[in-house]
Chain A
Amino acid sequence: MTRLVPVDWVRLVLPPLAAVAVAAGMVWRGPHLHGTATLPTVVIDGKEHAETCLLCHGDVQGLGTAHDPTAIGCSPCHLGNPAGLEENEAHEGMQVVAGNLTIAARTCGRAGCHPDETARVERSAMAGAPGLLAVNRFAFGERDTPRVESGDDLRQLRGDEAASPAESHVRKLCASCHVGLPKTEVGDHGFASRGGGCTACHLGAPSLEGKAKGRLHPDVSAAVRPQRCEGCHARSGRISLSFTGRVELEPDDPRVQGKLPDGRPIGKAPADVHARAGFTCLDCHTERGLMGDGTVVGHGYEAVDIACEDCHQPGPAPESPPEATRVAGVLRASWARRGGPRLAGEPYRTGRGTPLWRTEAASGQQWLHETSKAVFIPPMQREPYHEMRGHERLSCQACHTTWMPRCTQCHTQYRENDLQYDHIAGKETPGSWHETAGGNGIGPALLAVGPKGKIVPFTEGMTLTVEGVANPVDRVLWAPLDPHTTGASRTCAECHPDRDPSAVYPSEGQTTREGARLLSSSEVETVRQVGRCVACHDGYDDPVYADFEVSVGRLRGRGEARAADRVRWCASPVD
């Protein structure tokens, strides 16, 4: 064989050259390439494993004890490669927003952490907003009823193009609020925060003792601040505003006293009695009411687990689901870790058996979420007004709602040629929706029959006109709403007007919930009949109300009595 290299230099030169080159390389890179001699480890689900993330991120502060990175590391939440020693290698597959529901089963919902809660959230009303989608399709006239149907889930909407005007409207204006919408930017965006799955609610300000020494991470905690709810619930029903005594007004309203962070003008109104006592959202709303109990529901009213009587008129405690009991125990332990007062007594329970773990049934007290203070829960008075014949169908809110946010008209225009961000597609797409509210303000609670058959507060939802679409909409819709403005009861005359009842009982239009309806004319007539008497018989304990029908019958039989005219007027049918 002919050698192209004539000298057998390889045997002479290569061994020492290779040895020197490799040795030089080793010296150049050093004995500890990754700058430490200790492998960081954490314990997850009872098993110790490597967590190389801490080599670079060991200084992160702000997470409380439950999610302390020195105890659980970074990768259980943010995934990535906890055995990586180079940045790119370690960050492969990392999820910056760990709580997004698209990934939550592997992060928050991993075994040993919160699998049950994550599974429930994924089926909850907040995750896919099925009711919102169904009602919007009904409002736009694309369906005959507001009934939630299979496929009504924002997470099931695909592609860049909406299938209908109602879907387009939801995708561009409403969809940002659903918890299932993946959040793309890290951190707390305050009032502008939208979506993000678990982190939509569970993100908080960094938890620090003393001065910050390292990089700050938002806290992730079961102690959800009311500000987390406000981003979404200061809209539509506006319960976050109403509860704290704020009402959205028209810009030229003389009662305007400020603006929300998004620019909407607001004024002051009486805050809910619970807010005045220091309550925040989590003082009433249970984790099962918010994250769901695993049952697929369409609307918030189906999901909400708490009712006034659970605390104010507690009956025999229903049996608690084991999972609810377990979570309540976890939450009490978390409360104790954060320095809250010891909670050991048997709590009140909701109608579904969820323990209201910060209450104590024996003393009738509740410890408040934000301040840890104990407050006494006044029991419902067993007075005539609470047990009157004819009031059986009344919800607590029907009488104790002190005011409602009202938006008497909503004009929506569609512009085909403009671009607007589509929250489902994640980019701007053709077609834009422009809402012009009108008559934002304050008013009494309207009353109608809610989806569960009770008389509940209603508000405009909406007096709607939609232009620019193939089938323009012009209709009046009424929506049941617990506005969270609880206070002293309204007077008898407010609900029993003897003249025009339309200020309290809407008579035209449809409701936005299946099973809900406006009061029939005969029902309104009955209400007004009482109104004839209330002017004089204004006490709840007045004997005429003991059996109203008998009283009216007796009155009609006294046609020749002394106050004949008055009696005749009282007993005559209403107009």
Chain B
Amino acid sequence: MDERDGRLASGSKAGRGWTQRFGLPTLGALTLGALAVCVVSGVVVATGYDAARPVDSVLAFELGRPYGWFFRALHAHSAQLGLLGLIAHTLEYLARGGERQVPPGHWVVVMVSLPVTLYLMLGGRALVGDAEGLGVAAVMRGLLEQLPVFGAAAADVLVGANVGGNMTLLLTHHVSSATLLLLVLTVAHLKRVVPDAAATAVALGLSGAVALAVRPAVVLSDAPVALEGPWYMAGLRLMLQHLPAWFAGLALPLSFYLLFSSLPWLPEARVRAVRFVIFAISVAYGLLIAMAELT
């Protein structure tokens, strides 16, 4: 496989990883496997979903459909696994300087797929339509509205008002437009969409094992309990408690993202320093997540 043509599979130098030492698939392959499990289980889950009555339909699916509880949990946990794999894969790739081994266009594809993935993850949580889901939708909307000029329009197009808990717009993006876009980006990234069987098996085994044991939360409480949101947003939640929303919610993440995106175009002399900064920020955000989850 030639990295220059954009194919980054387990055999490529940049695509190879430490997991292969144990006979396991690469992190990239695992991520794609998790995506496959997530998409297939998502199709099953979508058959019971009602955007007008999201919570009730989710619960009815869990209770009423045979193995509904499992497919919903599998969908949620495989998505989490995919996100973890994506983060680990990206950092691993970055550590090897992989971004400078691919054509700039390919790097753009990779960078676009990151916010799309985040949007799908957050949208999926919001679609549950429970207190936490509505909170996530509100945060998504609030953050998008911080964008200058087209913020409100972006919020209307990507999140909607979700009046009365109706999730039709988010559902449309989640099951079609955003997912299709991610698949297109995945194809552009890997030149294929069918995952490696072993990687898919690992993803299924891991997320399936968790799905058998842990039910993804549905919170409908009127009690004064703290709504925590998804774990990967915990660091942002902590920052939002102490910093202005425009800064913590928009300026900081956007700066990080732009810095990350600019890597292939930076002068060689500065790349090491920027990579270090990116790793440092990633570790710091990881610590923030840990702090938020532990407190």
| Interface positions of A (Cβ within 8 A of B) | 1-5, 7-11, 14-19, 21-22, 25-26, 28-29, 31-34, 36-39, 41, 48-50, 52, 75-76, 79-86, 89, 92-95, 103, 106, 110
Contacts and interface: CB of A to CB of B under 8 A. Distances in A.
Interface stretch (B60-68, B139-147, B239-247, B255-263): B60-68
A33 B63 CA distance: 8
A81 B21 contact: no
A2 B55 contact: no
A2 B62 contact: no
Interface in B127-152: 130
Contact of A37 (B63, B67, B204): B63
A94 to B, nearest CB: 7
Which residue among B64, B69, B212, B221 has the maximum number of chain A CB atoms within 10 Å of its CB?
A: B221
B22 to A, nearest CB: 6
Nearest to A89: B217
A29 B22 contact: no
Contact of A106 (B56, B64, B208, B223): B223
Interface in B7-58: 16, 20-25, 55-56
A556 B252 CA distance: 101
A17 B23 contact: no
19 contacts: A1-B20, A3-B20, A10-B198, A18-B202, A18-B205, A19-B204, A26-B212, A31-B67, A32-B66, A38-B63, A41-B56, A49-B56, A50-B59, A52-B59, A79-B223, A81-B221, A84-B218, A86-B215, A95-B223
A5 B20 CA distance: 9
Contacts of A50: 55-56, 59-60, 220
Contacts of A22: 204-205, 208-209, 212
Nearest to A95: B223
Contacts of B25: 10
Contacts of B24: 10
Given A50-B55, A50-B59, A89-B217, 6 more contacts: A9-B23, A18-B208, A32-B66, A75-B221, A89-B215, A106-B222
Interface in B159-212: 197-198, 200-202, 204-205, 208-209, 212
B201 A17 contact: yes
Contacts of A11: 197-198
A25 B130 contact: no
Contacts of A85: 59, 62-63, 69, 215, 218
A19 B201 contact: yes
B70 interface: yes
A376 B74 CA distance: 71
A1 B215 CA distance: 39
B267 interface: no
A49 B198 contact: no
B200 A15 contact: yes
Contacts of A1: 16, 20-21
A86 B220 CA distance: 14
Contacts of A10: 23-25, 198, 202
B287 interface: no
What 9 pairs between A and B have smallest CB-CB spacing? A93-B223, A18-B205, A5-B23, A31-B66, A22-B208, A79-B223, A15-B201, A83-B218, A93-B225
B223 A25 contact: no
Contacts of B198: 10-11, 14-15
A80 B59 CA distance: 16
Nearest to A106: B222
B153 interface: no
Nearest to A25: B212
B59 A39 contact: yes
B92 to A, nearest CB: 13
A28 B217 CA distance: 22
Contacts of B69: 32-34, 85
A73 B130 CA distance: 17
B201 A93 contact: no
B219 interface: yes
A15 B221 contact: no
Contacts of A15: 197-198, 200-201
Given A38-B63, A49-B220, A95-B223, A2 B21 contact: yes
Given A31-B67, A75-B222, A92-B225, A18 B204 contact: yes
B70 A26 contact: yes
Contacts of B64: 37-39
A255 B25 CA distance: 93
Contacts of B21: 1-5
B163 to A, nearest CB: 14
Nearest to B71: A26
B209 A94 contact: no
B59 A18 contact: no
Nearest to B67: A31
Given A10-B198, A14-B198, A18-B201, A29 B62 contact: no
A500 to B, nearest CB: 62
Contacts of B63: 32, 34, 36-39, 85
B60 A79 contact: no
Contacts of A28: 212
A16 B67 CA distance: 20
A94 B24 CA distance: 45
Contacts of A79: 221-223
A83 B21 CA distance: 44
Contact of B22 (A4, A16, A83): A4
A160 to B, nearest CB: 24
Contacts of A41: 56
Given A1-B16, A50-B59, A92 B205 contact: no
B37 to A, nearest CB: 10
Contacts of B215: 85-86, 89
A110 B208 CA distance: 40
A19 B200 CA distance: 10
